[in-house]
């Protein structure tokens, strides 16, 4: 009983927040089943109505964020420990593939260089020994076993020289023992996280020393609800809007829709691409992405018309002057301030969009015994 009274009190308080009849215009109200009947229909000007219209399509607007295009971005991490000697580029510099970004003094690189040179020397010695043994073998003065051992040693030395040389080539660097960081691709330096004299180790977790990208193309990360999934497909055109450029629209395209729902945010990650030749859009910028939605089979009403009683959705439909039916509906996704209605209404129905909480309070103001018997009003309006 206490819980029921608390529910009634809460709903009456909520109803007081909606627009009510002007003072001095109180009149009798009768509730018949799911209908509210006003004795003086002419005084119901505090109620605002809207028509349930066929879904004519529109735009689905979703929050999004611009990030670097990973297909045209490289993050340069150190492969060896060392100390920064010289930095060759600044943020904003345009670089070519293979261009020097920074020079470092690295004992590890010096060791790798020494290993490579030693391996090359060993390979030369083993090759010369193999040639001598070939001549001795031809003269018949060397055992076949000794020849095979010499051949195996030459092959092993050559393989070791190739391994050390490939490692050295992968590290970059110069013959004087300095370690050189180079840009793997052409682009613009958009991030630099090192200073002269700074020491680092490859096992230290942290930011990349450089980020090089081509800002003429950006990726857009969109967070979509499960109900929006039907409108989002790879290859679909999107339109980007940002507060930085009011009234302007930037075209893009959806590249990928994730195959799972994020367990934390309960959203689906959608990835798109946006051309940015003029570089007006910036990485990490928050934007709004719009997707054209075709006309559907259902109806649409203003979101303010739909309210909850328990876990069910309702609207008030005007049946005539002063007569309002509380109608249960099946509601879908909200778009542009209007909610999709798949069942419960027909085109042309007039629904209450302002003042519905005031009408609802008459159901809640029924005697507690009658409220308990109805069984339909067990939930609190949300």
Give the tokens for residue 131: 């040639």
CA 366 to chain centre: 48
C-alpha to C-alpha distance for 151 and 158, rounded to whole angstroms: 11
CB-based contacts of 84: which residues, under 8 Å, 6+ apart?
Answer: 102, 103, 104, 194, 195, 196, 197, 198, 199, 200
Strand pairing class (312-320; 307-309): antiparallel
pLDDT, mean of residues 303-323: 85
Integer Cα distance of 74 and 213 in angstroms = 6
How many whole angstroms separate alpha carbon 205 and alpha carbon 222?
28
- The reported pLDDT for the residue numbered 221 is 95
Lowest mean pLDDT among 25-29, 66-70, 95-99, 180-184: 25-29
Which CATH fold topology does 60-71+214-293 show?
Answer: Elongation Factor Tu (Ef-tu); domain 3 (2.40.30)
pLDDT at 378: 34
* Domain residue extents for the chain: 2-56+297-374, 60-71+214-293, 107-176
- Tokens for 330, please give them: 């099946």
Kindly report the number of other CB atoms within 10 A of residue 161's CB atom: 22
For the domain covering 2-56+297-374, report its CATH number.
Answer: 2.40.420.20
Angle in degrees, CA 100, 106, 108, rounded to 5: 120
3-state secondary structure 117-178: HHHHHHHHHHHHHHHHHHHHHHHCCCCHHHHHHHHHHHHHHHHHHHHHHHHHHHHCCCCCCE
Of the listed ranges 84-88, 116-120, 150-154, 221-225, the one predicted with least confidence: 116-120
Backbone φ and ψ for 198, nearest 5 degrees, come out as: -70, 140
What's the whole-model pTM score? 0.57
Kindly report, residue by residue over 159-204, the tens digit of the pLDDT: 666 664 545 554 554 445 577 788 989 999 999 988 888 777 766 6
DSSP secondary structure letter of residue 46: T
Q: Distance between CA 227 and CA 340 in Å, rounded?
A: 11
CATH topology of domain 107-176: Helix Hairpins (1.10.287)
Q: Tokens representing 68?
A: 């670097």
pLDDT band for position 25 (cuts 50, 70, 90): very low
| The dihedral formed by the CA atoms of 123, 129, 132 and 138, expressed in degrees to the nearest 10 | -90
């Amino acid at each position: 009983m206490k819980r029921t009274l608390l529910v009634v009190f809460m709903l009456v308080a909520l109803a007081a927040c909606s627009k009510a009849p002007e003072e001095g215009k109180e009149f009798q109200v009768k509730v018949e089943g799911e209908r509210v009947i006003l004795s003086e229909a002419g005084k119901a000007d505090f109620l605002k109505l809207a028509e349930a219209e066929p879904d004519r399509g529109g735009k689905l607007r979703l929050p999004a964020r611009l990030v670097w295009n990973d297909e045209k971005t490289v993050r340069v991490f150190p492969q060896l420990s060392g100390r920064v000697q010289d930095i060759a580029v600044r943020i904003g510099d345009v670089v070519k593939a293979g261009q020097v970004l920074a020079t470092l003094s690295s004992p590890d690189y010096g060791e790798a260089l020494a290993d490579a040179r030693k391996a090359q020397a060993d390979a030369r010695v083993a090759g010369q020994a193999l040639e001598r043994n070939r001549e001795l073998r031809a003269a018949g003065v060397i055992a076949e076993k000794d020849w095979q051992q010499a051949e195996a040693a030459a092959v092993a030395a050559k393989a070791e020289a190739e391994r050390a040389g490939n490692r050295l080539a992968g590290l970059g660097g110069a013959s004087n023992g300095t370690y050189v960081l180079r840009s793997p691709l052409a682009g613009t330096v958009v991030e630099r996280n090192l200073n002269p004299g700074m020491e680092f180790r490859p096992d230290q977790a942290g930011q990349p020393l450089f980020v090089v990208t081509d800002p003429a193309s950006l990726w857009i990360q969109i967070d979509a609800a499960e109900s929006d999934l039907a409108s989002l497909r790879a290859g679909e055109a999107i339109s980007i809007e940002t507060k930085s450029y009011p009234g302007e629209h930037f075209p893009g395209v959806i590249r990928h829709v994730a195959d799972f729902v994020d367990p934390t945010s309960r959203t689906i990650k959608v990835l798109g691409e946006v051309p940015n030749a003029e570089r007006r859009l910036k990485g990490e910028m928050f934007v709004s992405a719009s997707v054209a939605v075709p006309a559907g089979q259902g109806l649409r009403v203003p979101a303010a018309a739909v309210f909850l009683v328990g876990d069910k959705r309702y609207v008030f439909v005007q049946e005539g002057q002063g007569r309002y039916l509380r109608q249960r509906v099946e509601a879908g996704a909200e778009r542009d301030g209007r909610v999709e209605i798949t069942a419960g209404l027909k085109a042309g129905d007039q629904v209450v969009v302002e003042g519905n909480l005031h009408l609802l309070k008459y159901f809640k103001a029924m005697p507690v015994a009658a409220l308990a018997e109805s069984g339909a009003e067990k939930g609190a309006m949300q």
